[in-house]
């Protein structure tokens, strides 16, 4: 099929899912067109079925804010017409579902019936989308989509609770190409560069927004390192980073916490990791946890949002109440102090990722694209 994918091109999970999906679809022979304001960070052009179309914004002195939705919907119309696209798959409702609705209307005027699939990812529903500022337009554009998907059962429930939705919402879980994270596939997995042989490695990956509770990561690690020789790798960047660096310094553990910034080498970093920390306020799914599990890493997380659908308490890791850093530290210490226990959890984590394998999830999206054309 000919599919347009609209997403944020940044390090956020929705952009990662959209990009991995587009690349996998192209590998299967579909023609995929990314439409966004920058080349998505994980996009590589190894296949001639992959295209990228940049949405360019024009400066004008009158604008305090440039009208991105307008530029995006115009670009969607142009690309749908030029390449005869059959489906526009938009990731993250704000503002993509709304821009897709506008494009659909404009194309209908020209006799073109483009189908719109909207995938809800998380804060487009929970923290941002349901805010009165956006709610009316988000609800409208979800209801106008031909197909709506959510990345977990929990996000589906949240959407139905927070909005007046007249459509079915299909749950299509986030996915992983687990082989990419196999130790055999990763050259140079030398943990000695980062930690001494007797040290354990804990890792956190996020975009350091308040919802990620990165200060809790430091507080958990502070307790862990008092009992277990260890290092903490903090991967990513964002608004909370300075505050978190300060906290590590105040607690006297600055030399044990490595801030690595944004990275395209997450699989490599995870291959050294023993325990992954994700104490988020909420996660509709927790793709970062799934990536860690694919690299055979046990997960310590909160029990919020869709995390219990991914991380199984007492099997692949542990779930704690929001903010309970004592419990999260206790669970991490339990895992890290015993090789046999740690290895069992690591193996369970890896096994669990089969449920979310690319090979299972990709056909679900293909089926949904086709269903748009079945009366």
Q: Which residues bind ligand GMT (CB under 6 A)?
A: 8, 12-15, 17, 92, 121-123, 151, 174, 211, 282-287, 305
Give min distance, CB of 174 to ligand GMT, in A.
Answer: 5
Give min distance, CB of 100 to ligand GMT, in A.
Answer: 17
Give whichever of 88 and 211 is closer to ligand GMT, judged by the CB atom: 211
Give min distance, CB of 122 to ligand GMT, in A.
Answer: 2
Give whichever of 107 and 169 is closer to ligand GMT, judged by the CB atom: 169
Give whichever of 19 and 31 is closer to ligand GMT, judged by the CB atom: 19
Give min distance, CB of 286 to ligand GMT, in A.
Answer: 5
Contact yes or no for 76/35 (Cβ under 8 A): yes
Give whichever of 15 and 95 is closer to ligand GMT, judged by the CB atom: 15
The span from the CA of 80 to the CA of 72, in Å, is 12
Give min distance, CB of 299 to ligand GMT, in A.
Answer: 13
Give whichever of 229 and 238 is closer to ligand GMT, judged by the CB atom: 238
CA dihedral 233, 237, 241, 242 (to 10 degrees): 110
Give whichever of 14 and 230 is closer to ligand GMT, judged by the CB atom: 14
Contact yes or no for 268/187 (Cβ under 8 A): no
Give min distance, CB of 356 to ligand GMT, in A.
Answer: 11
Give whichever of 17 and 333 is closer to ligand GMT, judged by the CB atom: 17
The span from the CA of 184 to the CA of 64, in Å, is 51
Give whichever of 8 and 101 is closer to ligand GMT, judged by the CB atom: 8
Give min distance, CB of 361 to ligand GMT, in A.
Answer: 12
3-state helix, strand, coil in the chain (%, to 5): 45, 20, 35
Give min distance, CB of 12 to ligand GMT, in A.
Answer: 3
Token pair 């530290």: residue: 329
The span from the CA of 235 to the CA of 330, in Å, is 23
């Amino acid at each position: 099929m000919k599919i347009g994918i609209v997403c944020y091109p940044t390090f956020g999970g929705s952009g990662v899912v959209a990009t991995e999906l587009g690349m996998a679809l192209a590998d299967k022979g579909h023609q995929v067109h990314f439409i966004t304001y920058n080349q998505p960070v994980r996009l590589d052009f190894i296949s001639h079925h992959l295209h990228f179309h940049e949405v360019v914004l024009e400066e004008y002195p009158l604008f305090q804010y440039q009208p991105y939705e307008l530029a995006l919907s115009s670009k969607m119309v142009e690309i749908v017409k030029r390449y005869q696209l059959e489906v526009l798959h938009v990731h993250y409702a704000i503002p993509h579902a709304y821009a897709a609705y506008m494009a659909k209307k404009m194309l209908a005027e020209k006799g073109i019936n483009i189908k719109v699939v909207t995938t809800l990812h998380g804060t487009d529903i929970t923290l941002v989308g349901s805010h009165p500022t956006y709610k009316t337009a988000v609800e409208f554009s979800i209801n106008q989509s031909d197909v709506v998907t959510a990345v977990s059962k929990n996000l589906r429930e949240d959407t139905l609770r927070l909005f007046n939705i007249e459509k079915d919402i299909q749950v299509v879980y986030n996915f992983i190409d687990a082989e990419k994270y196999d130790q055999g596939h990763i050259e140079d997995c030398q943990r000695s560069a980062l930690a001494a042989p007797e040290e354990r490695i804990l890792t956190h990956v996020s975009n350091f927004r308040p919802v990620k509770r990165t200060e809790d990561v430091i507080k958990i690690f502070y307790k862990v390192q008092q009992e277990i020789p260890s290092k903490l790798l903090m991967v990513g960047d964002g608004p909370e980073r300075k505050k978190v660096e300060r906290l590590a310094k105040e607690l006297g553990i600055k030399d044990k916490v490595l801030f690595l910034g944004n990275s395209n080498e997450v699989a490599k970093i995870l291959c050294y990791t023993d325990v992954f920390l994700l104490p988020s306020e909420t996660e509709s799914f927790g793709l970062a946890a799934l990536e860690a599990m694919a690299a055979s890493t046990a997960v310590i997380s909160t029990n919020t949002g869709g995390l219990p659908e991914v991380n199984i308490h007492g099997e692949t890791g542990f779930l704690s109440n929001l903010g309970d850093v004592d419990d999260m530290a206790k669970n991490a210490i339990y895992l890290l102090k015993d090789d046999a226990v740690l290895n069992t959890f690591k193996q369970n984590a890896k096994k669990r990722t089969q449920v979310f394998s690319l090979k299972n999830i990709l056909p679900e999206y293909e089926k949904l694209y086709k269903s748009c054309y079945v009366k």
